[in-house]
Structure 1
Amino acid sequence: MQLGIVGLPNVGKSTLFKALTNKEVEVSNYPFCTISSNVGIVEVPDERLNELSALVNPEKVTPAVIEFIDIAGLVKGAHKGEGLGNQFLSHIREVSAIIHLIRLFVNDDIAYIEGEINSVRDAQIVNLELILADLATVEKRLEKVKRMLKTGDKKCKEEVELLGKIREHLNKEEAVRRMDLSEEERIRIKEFSLLTSKPVIYVANVGEED
């Protein structure tokens, strides 16, 4: 399983990554300290695996692992390529789920791209950029499938209907994961690699005194 840590610049993504993986990475007081994604692998403790290993005594024991990816910070306009937007979004497409880190701590010595701390606004910035990126993906796919539809392919007709439903939902600024889809539809949309279809864990980065 791959978990991508995302958020605005200077919210503490690399610090969280270090805490989770015990891996040394650069942490600096300026936006886009992280350009290339940091990757760390953590074994998942499982007493059942230890018990089975003691019983069977295999030559090799391979525990389950979680791969954490510290992804470059996002800014407004990322879906248009602003900042490191294209790189940011391409890395998110590869992960299984998203850890969305939001800054709540106030520290004038640590630069903040949005100025005043506002957790709701900051979360919405990231969410909206992912939605707009998905809209671009859906529009591009719709154009392609509509051309294929002229051949009379029934599956293309079904896909056009599904994409239209997704586009309508995204236009309401709602994530795809909140859609009421059938199991078959959820399987079909996996091939679209939509960012807002991924599960999200929200993490608040508070001050040491909180």
Structure 2
Amino acid sequence: DCPTSARCDMWGEKRRLRWQGGGPARAVAGHSWLFRGPCLSLQPLECDQGACPSSLIPVLQSTLFNALCSNSKAQAANFPFCTIEPNVGVVAVPDPRLDILVSMSKSEKTVPTSIEFVDIAGLVKGASKGEGLGNKFLATIRECDSLVQVVRCFENDDVIHVDGRVNPVEDIDTINFELALADIGQVEKRLERLKKGRAKTAEEIKTQEAETGVLQRLMAAMETGLPARSVLLTPEEAELVRGLCLLTMKPLTYAANVGEADLADKGASNPHVQALQAKAAEEGCGVVLVSAQVEAELTDLDAAEAAEYLADLGASEGGLKSLVRTTYSQLGLLTYFTTGEKESRAWTIREGMTAPQAAGVIHTDFEKGFIRAETVAYKDFVAVGGLAAAKEKGLTRLEGKDYVVKEGDIMLFRFNV
């Protein structure tokens, strides 16, 4: 009998050992492991090679990635560098408003908006100098718009930690230190190039001096341990250094990986979560509670079973849904809708986009030939029962080129090309 709620897969004498966090159990090449029995919850007793290579083990982040992108198969194993090549998955942004629009418009098709997530290799100390998979790791995350750090906030002697202890604050300090060192190196190189710059015209000299000033401010902050995002920059100043793709300037969210018992009280009784939340508050970053173990289980359940399982744990929804929404918000993104019998669709735009720019997300011709937009707020649309009723009650508006689209607007564009 399996002592946990996890399932045990066996075919005759051949046993498929599975970790409680999900994914097949694997050992480092050249290492032999002894296991207790057939159950998923039973872990390795010893390794004949002694201590395994050191890194912040990526098993938890890959387990969460697989749950996040349920059709992905990123390797999730409790040893360093099991994820070498980055795994990419496209995740729909959960939005109950879209389901309501589909029901009201009797739409044949539903198209949610989405975010692309990338699961990358574990990080070792010295990554900023190229140790481990440092150079490859850093190059991959420079291409991303936002970062999520999966941080261990649970106790389990069978899930190894390179330092033999659970301390989420020290873990994120290790990662952030390497990211900061990499950024400092980037800024130093850029400042050196600017000193040797070939600016000739007055405009070029002015731009070079402005960029130098911004870089010096960023360097001063990072040398005191602050991330680049802590320096307030104008849009013009941010544009000057955008090409450097500084890692500590990217929005950051901490995913606190907790045990299932912590979901009911949202980590209030977990000292690791409390320490992480305090650290994140100092940095101005968000914290989302997730449980890799629970999320892995949810992928095998239908909607009704998942809801019942979460209710038994005292949770209203899985933490990954909250993580997706938080990431979406931190990127400064908004959603507007188009709806009709053919389809209801959510569209992603950046905060501050005007109606023509929002139309251009659908097709560039919409932006080039924009005439005006007919729009109604989502709440008004739902309250009165649809577009026709909204028109009768004077709740729809005709907006021109200067209109800044708001969160939840339902749009109909008129254009001519």
TM-score w.r.t. length of structure 1: 0.86
Q: 5+ unaligned residues in a row in structure 2: which ranges? A: 1-54, 263-417
d(CA) in 2 for partners of 1:189, 1:128: 20
| Cα deviation digits, residues 79-129 of structure 1 (max 9, x gap) | 001111111111111111111111122222222222211111111001111
Give the CA deviation at 1:149. 5.6
SS in 2 for 1:180: coil
Give the AA of the match of 2:69: T
Alpha-carbon distance change, 62 to 200 in structure 1, aligned in 2, over 3 angstroms: same
How large is the RMSD of aligned CA atoms in angstroms?
2.4
Q: Flag the structure with higher helix content.
A: 1
d(CA) in 1 for partners of 2:140, 2:156: 29
Find the counterpart in structure 1 of residue 91 from structure 2. Answer: 42
Name which of structure 1's ranges 147-156 and 192-201 shifts more when overlaid on structure 2: 147-156
- The answer to whether the aligner puts 1:116 opposite 2:168 as a matched pair is no
SS in 2 for 1:12: helix
Find the counterpart in structure 2 of residue 200 from structure 1. Answer: 252
Q: 2:123 aligns with which of 62, 74, 96?
A: 74
d(CA) in 2 for partners of 1:109, 1:93: 33
Name which of structure 1's ranges 98-107 and 128-137 shifts more when overlaid on structure 2: 98-107
Structure with greater Cα Rg:
2
CA contact (8 A) 2:61 2:150 kept: yes
Q: 1:174 aligns with which of 226, 233, 246?
A: 226
Find the counterpart in structure 1 of residue 187 from structure 2. Answer: 138
Find the counterpart in structure 2 of residue 98 from structure 1. Answer: 147
Q: Flag the structure with higher strand content.
A: 2
SS in 1 for 2:121: coil
Give the CA deviation at 1:180. 2.0
Give the CA deviation at 1:75. 1.1
Give the AA of the match of 1:156: Q
d(CA) in 1 for partners of 2:127, 2:236: 31
SS in 1 for 2:260: coil
Find the counterpart in structure 1 of residue 133 from structure 2. Answer: 84
Q: 1:16 aligns with which of 60, 64, 67?
A: 64
Give the AA of the match of 1:16: L
Q: 2:212 aligns with which of 116, 137, 160?
A: 160
Find the counterpart in structure 2 of residue 32 from structure 1. Answer: 81
Give the AA of the match of 1:76: K
Find the counterpart in structure 1 of residue 175 from structure 2. Answer: 126
SS in 1 for 2:254: strand
SS in 1 for 2:115: strand
| Cα deviation digits, residues 159-182 of structure 1 (max 9, x gap) | 111111111111011101111222
Give the CA deviation at 1:26. 1.8
SS in 1 for 2:147: strand
Find the counterpart in structure 2 of residue 4 from structure 1. Answer: none
Name which of structure 1's ranges 163-172 and 37-46 shifts more when overlaid on structure 2: 37-46
CA contact (8 A) 1:21 1:40 kept: yes
Q: 1:186 aligns with which of 238, 258, 263?
A: 238
Q: 5+ unaligned residues in a row in structure 1: which ranges? A: 1-6
d(CA) in 2 for partners of 1:87, 1:129: 13
SS in 1 for 2:197: helix
CA contact (8 A) 1:36 1:72 kept: yes
- The answer to whether the aligner puts 1:107 opposite 2:156 as a matched pair is yes
Say how many residue pairs are matched: 203
Alpha-carbon distance change, 55 to 8 in structure 1, aligned in 2, over 3 angstroms: same
d(CA) in 2 for partners of 1:110, 1:48: 40
SS in 2 for 1:148: coil
d(CA) in 2 for partners of 1:53, 1:164: 55
d(CA) in 2 for partners of 1:55, 1:104: 44
